[in-house]
């Protein structure tokens, strides 16, 4: 039995809703299903305004445009993140100032931010790694003190909370992803959350190619035209119809993923007690949304051997980000400042298979195989 790293889950109604969208005659964006999805987020999580986008990358690009990020502006974010977090701001001319990870877990170290703030700093972009919140009180305090904007990259953070506040709803702006590797999927898809009223009107304009078409469709104006910059950030109704079927099942999806997570955790905690590996940390004030289950190995070599040991049984575990500050595209701009903890997670963290249809038996098999690896008395330093 092959156990892939990820397997997209279908709730069963996706094609039914797509068919409905097709035959209803409205295929472009901002139709019935787009509105249903946006309303779902506004009602369930109390977000002020939600706009469906074609990806989280696009939603982040909209954030950079909304904040008027320009050449010379500085934006603070973790190095241990996906390319898009940085790229969206780099496209507007920003210089990215990378922060190191925490010692206990890969999220950015909120205590390391203040020393990096300069007169050019415009925004802080916390990334909620594995759906576990960054220390948002500290980030929002710094934002208030220095008059900065906060954009939450909550691509992995759906249905997760910080002090009872939903992730994506704490900063001025927030973004989600519905890429097929996330908890709730649409193939490719994303969402922009606008928590600060002053961005709402302009966000709709950027979303609709720089036109005020959205307010035209609501009957607020009698003709629409080109009023600002923007792009075609909105997905078609086919994407929204697929997504809506997923959202209707979000509670079952979350329940199953969180249960998978706990089965892994309970199965592996003996190895952590024996200092063979480290398990994920859900920090104080944060919740766990079952997005990911990772372990932290004691060495890069040990991780490579464990990956092979699992692969022999057709179990596919994968490592994650390579620090962005060392990337071919950005290392010369970043310079020499070292971020050892970000590099540590690049070299030691391993993600185990995690998806809705992952069975208890499969997790048992993975846990046993990992235990077998660490129980081997032979040297693993070779």
Ligand X SMILES: *Cc1c(COP(=O)(O)O)cnc(C)c1O
Chain residues binding ligand X by CB under 6 A are 55-57, 81-82, 84-85, 127, 153, 155-156, 177, 179, 190
Instruction: Tell me the three state secondary structure of residue 176.
Output: strand
Active-site residue (options: 122, 182, 256, 276): 182
Helix (H) or strand (E) holding 114: none
- Nearest approach, Cβ of 259 to ligand X (angstroms)? 22
Pick 134 or 306: Cβ nearer ligand X: 134
Give dist(CA 254, CA 263) in Å, integer.
14
User: Is residue 163 flagged as an active site residue?
Assistant: no
Strand intervals (E) in the chain:
49-53, 74-78, 95-99, 121-124, 149-153, 161-162, 165-166, 173-177, 190-194, 293-296, 349-352
Pick 69 or 306: Cβ nearer ligand X: 69
- Nearest approach, Cβ of 190 to ligand X (angstroms)? 5
Nearest to 174 by CA among 201, 195, 188: 195
Nearest to 81 by CA among 277, 295, 258, 327: 327
Residues 320 and 295: beta-carbon distance below 8 Å: no
DSSP string, 219-286: TSSSS--B-S---B-PPPHHHHHHHHHHHTTHHHHHHHHHHHHHHHHHHHHHHHHTTS-B-----TTB
Residues 113 and 139: beta-carbon distance below 8 Å: yes
Strand intervals (E) in 46-164:
49-53, 74-78, 95-99, 121-124, 149-153, 161-162
- Nearest approach, Cβ of 236 to ligand X (angstroms)? 16
Beta strand pairing status for 173-177 and 165-166? Answer: unpaired
- Nearest approach, Cβ of 294 to ligand X (angstroms)? 13
- Nearest approach, Cβ of 96 to ligand X (angstroms)? 14
Pick 85 or 288: Cβ nearer ligand X: 85
Pick 34 or 263: Cβ nearer ligand X: 34
Pick 153 or 302: Cβ nearer ligand X: 153
- Nearest approach, Cβ of 85 to ligand X (angstroms)? 5
Pick 132 or 306: Cβ nearer ligand X: 132
- Nearest approach, Cβ of 97 to ligand X (angstroms)? 18
* Lookup result for tokens 């005659």: 25
- For the chain, percent helix, then strand, then coil, each to nearest 5? 40, 15, 45
Pick 161 or 374: Cβ nearer ligand X: 161
* Lookup result for tokens 């249905």: 159
Angle, alpha carbons 345-348-351 (nearest 5°):
90
Give dist(CA 20, CA 15) in Å, integer.
8
Residues serving a catalytic function are: 182
């Amino acid at each position: 039995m092959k156990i892939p790293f990820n397997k997209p889950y279908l709730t069963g109604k996706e094609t039914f809703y797509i068919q409905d969208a097709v035959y209803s005659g409205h295929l472009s964006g901002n139709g019935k299903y787009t509105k249903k999805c946006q309303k779902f987020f506004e009602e369930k999580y109390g977000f002020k305004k939600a706009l469906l986008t074609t990806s989280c990358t696009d939603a982040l690009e909209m954030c950079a445009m909304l904040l008027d990020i320009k050449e010379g502006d500085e934006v603070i974010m973790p190095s241990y993140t996906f390319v898009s977090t940085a790229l969206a701001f780099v496209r507007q001319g920003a210089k990215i100032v990378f922060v190191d990870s925490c010692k206990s877990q890969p999220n950015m170290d909120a205590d390391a931010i203040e020393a990096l703030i300069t007169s050019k700093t415009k925004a802080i972009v916390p990334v909620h790694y594995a759906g576990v919140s960054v220390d948002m009180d500290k980030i929002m305090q710094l934002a208030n003190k220095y008059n900065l904007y906060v954009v939450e990259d909550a691509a992995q953070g759906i249905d997760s909370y910080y002090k009872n506040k939903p992730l994506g709803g704490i900063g001025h702006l927030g973004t989600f992803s519905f890429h097929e590797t996330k908890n709730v999927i649409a193939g490719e898809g994303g969402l922009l959350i606008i928590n600060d009223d002053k961005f709402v009107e302009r966000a709709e304009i950027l979303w609709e190619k720089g036109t005020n078409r959205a307010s035209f469709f609501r009957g607020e104006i009698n003709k629409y035209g080109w009023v600002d910059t923007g792009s075609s950030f909105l997905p078609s109704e086919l994407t929204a119809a697929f997504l809506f079927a997923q959202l209707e099942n979000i509670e079952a999806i979350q329940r199953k993923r969180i249960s998978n997570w706990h089965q892994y955790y309970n199965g592996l905690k003996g190895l952590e007690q024996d200092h063979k590996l480290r398990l994920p940390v859900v920090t104080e004030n944060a919740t766990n949304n079952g997005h990911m289950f990772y372990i932290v190995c004691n060495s890069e070599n040990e991780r490579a051997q464990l990956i092979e040991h699992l692969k022999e049984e057709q179990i596919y575990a994968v490592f994650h980000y390579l620090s962005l500050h060392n990337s071919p595209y950005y290392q010369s701009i970043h310079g020499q400042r070292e971020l050892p903890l970000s590099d540590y997670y690049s070299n030691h963290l391993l993600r185990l298979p995690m998806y809705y249809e992952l069975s208890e038996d499969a997790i048992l098999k993975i846990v046993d195989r990992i235990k077998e690896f660490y129980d081997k008395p032979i040297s693993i330093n070779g």
